[in-house]
Structure 1
Amino acid sequence: MTYSIMQMIELASTGFPLLLNSVLGRIPILVAGEDTELVDDLTESLTMLCPHRHKFVFWRDFTSEAEIRSVWDEERHDYEVNRTVVCCLSTNLTLALDRITQFMGWIVSIPLSADVLGLHVTEETLVKAAAHILRTSGNCGILRVTSPSAISFSLVKPGLPCLDVEKRIVSKILSRKTQSLERIRRLLKKSLRDLNVSEQIADEVLKLDDDSEKLTHDMFEEEVNSYVHAARRAVMILSRIRLARQLGASITLTDRNLYEAIGWETGEMPELVRFIRGEWHEDFSDCVKGGALSGLGAWVDSMWGT
């Protein structure tokens, strides 16, 4: 069973924005539960939350840390290379914990109560896995799966980031989906109006459950990719801000100016900087001071009429 985007939104409920934020921020996530098949299904399904990234499966696409580090090195040197998301399924949990130290962007299955290559997986295993990951990662998420219809997500290190972007994505796709389905139903009803068909047939024609799932998936990809492209434009501008700072420029560019330039409206600057750091391995936090972007010439600020 593969969980659809809509199913994950509904199951995670109010926790979905934080889950999405963690996946987009390449925070390692442990998917823990006693149903091994369910845990693995959800682990693979979570990779759909970052449709712009290429999925690697540990022990199928690579078997060592050196291999995945070479992929990350390529990311650092080439902005155009596809970013990666890694998933590790239950059967390879022990191998991953033995061979890997850096879990950036990993989604790992933790099959509680199962035996994996001689290891009996328990809650203690989950705690140790999280501790192992935290040695090299700033945080770690745990997605608990108690049944096919019950999941909950939390971060090991508490602290709620700004989730405006993720909430906007969810709100927008749900709104767009509802509007699209209403238009489709109106069109179908109009087409059926003059036909002598039974109510049962009409209901079947108007049943759009599968279409709803597909619409949600497509719209989710569009919204996430829109944010990624806006962030990529921000990288271009921020890299020039850094260069200008090195040349001695001191005039500021406000958050609003930057957001207007990249065609984005929602979120806080620190969160955008954090996303860029995870996605392109570039830290522009030195360009942000007191809610403003520092170090670009006055001509840039004047481009937006400030």
Structure 2
Amino acid sequence: MTYSIMKLIELMDDQFPLLLNTLLERMPVIVAGEDIELVDDITESLTTLCSHRHKLVFWRDFTSESEILGVWEEEKHNYEVSRTIVCGLSGNLRLAMDRISHFAGWILGVPLGFTVLGIQVTENTLQDVTSHILKNSSNCGILRVSSPSSITFSLVRSTNSSLEVEKKIVNKILVRKKQSLERIRRLLTKSLRGLNVSNHILTAVLKLDDESEKLTQDVFEEEINNYVHAARRAVTLLSRIRLARELGASTTLTERNLYEAIGWDGGELPDLIQFIRAEWHEDFSDCVKSGALSGLGAWVDSMWGT
């Protein structure tokens, strides 16, 4: 079975925003479980949470660290190139450990109890994999798969993220999905009114499981893209603020000015700055501050032609 976004939200409940934040910030995620097919299924399914990124599969699309580091270098020099998310399937775990030392943006399957290229994968192996990843990563997520309907997620180290954006996305999905399904059911019920149809047929017509999953997928991708595009507008603006500072201007931007300029009203500023750092390899934390700055709002407006 392939895990849809709706299924992941339902199974993970309150842990889903943390998982989403971890993936958006391109922290490595380990998927560990004793069913190798299930582990690989979930490993690949998690890449759909970042549909705005280009998926690369280790040992299919690249086989060496120099290749993936080359992709990252291109990202650093070209804002327009597609960002990447890397999928490492269970059968290639040993190859990944032997060849890769930087796992930013990776989702890595760890099949507990299986032998992979001569290595018996145990809980000790999982600890070794985690330690190997943390040599060059500030944090790492571990998603434990006990059964198809039992999934838990945690970070090795605590996070400072408010998760406000991710929680807002989930809430919007649930509200908009419910509203859309209710409208569809009302229209279907109205169209069948007066017809002599059995309850069995009526139930079948009003069963909208497939539509529910598709709606969830569509709304999720729309909300993620809204966030990514707002962050991209912030990059455009903040890069010019930085240029002005390099030319000698003592200019910084307030959080309010920034959010108004990019048309975004959710989440805390440190979370947005961290997402930009992960997505575009830029740290603009010195370009934004709290408080009012006279005259800057009009200058920002002029950049957008308003």
The TM-score with structure 2 as length reference comes to 0.95
Residue 174 and residue 77 in structure 1: after superposition, are their counterparts in 2 closer, same or farther (change >3 A)? same
1:288 deviates by 3.2
1:29-178 alignment runs, 5 A limit: 29-178=29-178
Residue deviations 1:168-223 (CA, integer Å, cap 9, x gap): 00000110000000000000001000222111111100000111011101110000
Q: Quick one: percent identity of the two aligned structures?
A: 67
Query: Using the alignment, how far apart are the partners of 1:210 and 1:61 within structure 2?
Result: 32
Q: Does 1:220 align with 2:228?
A: no
Residue 23 and residue 141 in structure 1: after superposition, are their counterparts in 2 closer, same or farther (change >3 A)? same
Q: Does 1:202 align with 2:209?
A: no
Q: Which moved more, 1:273-282 or 1:250-259?
A: 250-259
Residue deviations 1:45-87 (CA, integer Å, cap 9, x gap): 0001101001111001111111111111111111111110001
Query: Using the alignment, how far apart are the partners of 1:299 and 1:247 within structure 2?
Result: 19
User: What one-letter code is carried by the residue in structure 1 that aligns with 2:191?
Assistant: S
Query: Using the alignment, how far apart are the partners of 1:26 and 1:293 within structure 2?
Result: 33
User: What one-letter code is carried by the residue in structure 2 that aligns with 1:300?
Assistant: W
Query: Using the alignment, how far apart are the partners of 1:105 and 1:253 within structure 2?
Result: 29
| CA RMSD, Structure 1 to Structure 2 (Å) | 1.8
> Is contact 1:241-1:296 (8 Å) kept?
no
Q: Does 1:191 align with 2:191?
A: yes
User: What one-letter code is carried by the residue in structure 1 that aligns with 2:243?
Assistant: L
Residue 294 and residue 140 in structure 1: after superposition, are their counterparts in 2 closer, same or farther (change >3 A)? farther
Q: How many residues align?
A: 303
Structure 1 alignment gaps of length 5 or more:
none
> What is the aligned partner in structure 1 of residue 281 from structure 2?
281
> What is the aligned partner in structure 1 of residue 20 from structure 2?
20
> What is the aligned partner in structure 2 of residue 248 from structure 1?
248
User: What one-letter code is carried by the residue in structure 1 that aligns with 2:230?
Assistant: A
Query: Using the alignment, how far apart are the partners of 1:99 and 1:59 within structure 2?
Result: 11
Q: Match of 1:59, SS?
A: coil
Q: Match of 1:68, SS?
A: helix
The TM-score with structure 1 as length reference comes to 0.95
Query: Using the alignment, how far apart are the partners of 2:280 and 2:274 within structure 1?
Result: 10
Q: Match of 2:2, SS?
A: coil
Q: Does 1:300 align with 2:302?
A: no
Query: Using the alignment, how far apart are the partners of 1:25 and 1:258 within structure 2?
Result: 20
Query: Using the alignment, how far apart are the partners of 1:254 and 1:275 within structure 2?
Result: 18
User: What one-letter code is carried by the residue in structure 1 that aligns with 2:299?
Assistant: V
User: What one-letter code is carried by the residue in structure 2 that aligns with 1:18?
Assistant: L
> What is the aligned partner in structure 1 of residue 11 from structure 2?
11
User: What one-letter code is carried by the residue in structure 2 that aligns with 1:24?
Assistant: L
Q: Match of 1:126, SS?
A: helix
Q: Match of 2:18, SS?
A: helix
> What is the aligned partner in structure 1 of residue 237 from structure 2?
237
Q: Match of 2:159, SS?
A: coil
Residue 294 and residue 166 in structure 1: after superposition, are their counterparts in 2 closer, same or farther (change >3 A)? farther
User: What one-letter code is carried by the residue in structure 2 that aligns with 1:125?
Assistant: T
Query: Using the alignment, how far apart are the partners of 2:105 and 2:190 within structure 1?
Result: 48
Residue 109 and residue 183 in structure 1: after superposition, are their counterparts in 2 closer, same or farther (change >3 A)? same
User: What one-letter code is carried by the residue in structure 2 that aligns with 1:153?
Assistant: F
Query: Using the alignment, how far apart are the partners of 2:147 and 2:292 within structure 1?
Result: 46
1:263 deviates by 1.1
Residue deviations 1:206-246 (CA, integer Å, cap 9, x gap): 00011101110111000000100000000001101111111
Query: Using the alignment, how far apart are the partners of 2:19 and 2:224 within structure 1?
Result: 14
1:261 deviates by 1.1
Q: Match of 2:203, SS?
A: helix
Structure 2 alignment gaps of length 5 or more:
none
1:12 deviates by 1.1
> Is contact 1:287-1:293 (8 Å) kept?
no
